[in-house]
Amino acid sequence: MEFKRLKEVALGEESALESPPEPEKKKRGRQPNAAKKSESSEAIAGALVSIHGLLAGITKIPELELTEPEGKAISKALEDVANAYDFAPSPQTQALIGLAVTITGVYGMRIYAYKLRLADEKTELEARAKQLEETEKAASNVYPMPTGLQTHALI
């Protein structure tokens, strides 16, 4: 093949002087952004599972809680939509979303734990008050106070 090209150049054919188009070489290995996409997808899945778990606890609706496979499925669907519409948030937006999710996860759990503790303390105080009331009622029945008629009868 190389000899034929040289012959054409020697005969002065102009088409032979142009270099033939080189076939595009396929790059081997993974695509450069593949690792970032999978890390991002896993991070989104983790955030979805965490946020839904927090919401399920706060609202006392256990059906809101997501499992890991559900979170991964939603994350994959979000990634597909972002790829289809060529949508990629800027790094600043991604950082702000990450900060919001982290703060929600950390402080949300603390607020939820605080509310649970207050509810437990209220229940405990109500139980103590009821027990004290029952104790006082039982004590008043053991030693009844004499009434006016009983006092005159004793004299």
| More confident call, 67 vs 145 | 67
Query: How far is Cα 141 from Cα 129, in angstroms, rounded to an integer?
Result: 19
Distance CA 80, CA 154 (A): 94
Q: Which of 62, 50, 59 is nearest to 106 (CA)?
A: 50
pLDDT band for 120, please (50, 70, 90 cuts). Answer: very high
* Cβ 74 vs Cβ 51: under 8 Å: no
Say whether pLDDT at 16 is over 50.
no
Question: Quick one: what percent of the chain has pLDDT higher than 90?
Answer: 18
Give the span between the Cα atoms of 139 and 148, in whole angstroms.
21
H or E element in which residue 90 lies:
none
Examine the pLDDT at 119 and tell me if it is beyond 80: yes
- Over the chain, what is the mean pLDDT? 76
Contact by Cβ (8 Å): 53, 65: yes
pLDDT for 69: 92
Q: What is the pLDDT of residue 30?
A: 46
Residue among 97, 111, 95, 94 at smallest CA distance from 55:
111
pLDDT band for position 108 (50/70/90)?
confident
pLDDT at 68: 92
Query: Could you identify the residue written with the tokens 């593949």?
Result: 34
How much of the chain exceeds pLDDT 70, in percent?
65
Q: What does the pLDDT average to over 119-127?
A: 94
pLDDT of residue 90: 83
pTM assigned to the model: 0.46
**What is the per-residue pLDDT across 20-66, written as a single tens digit (0 to 9) for each?**
555 566 556 545 554 455 667 888 888 888 888 888 888 889 898 99
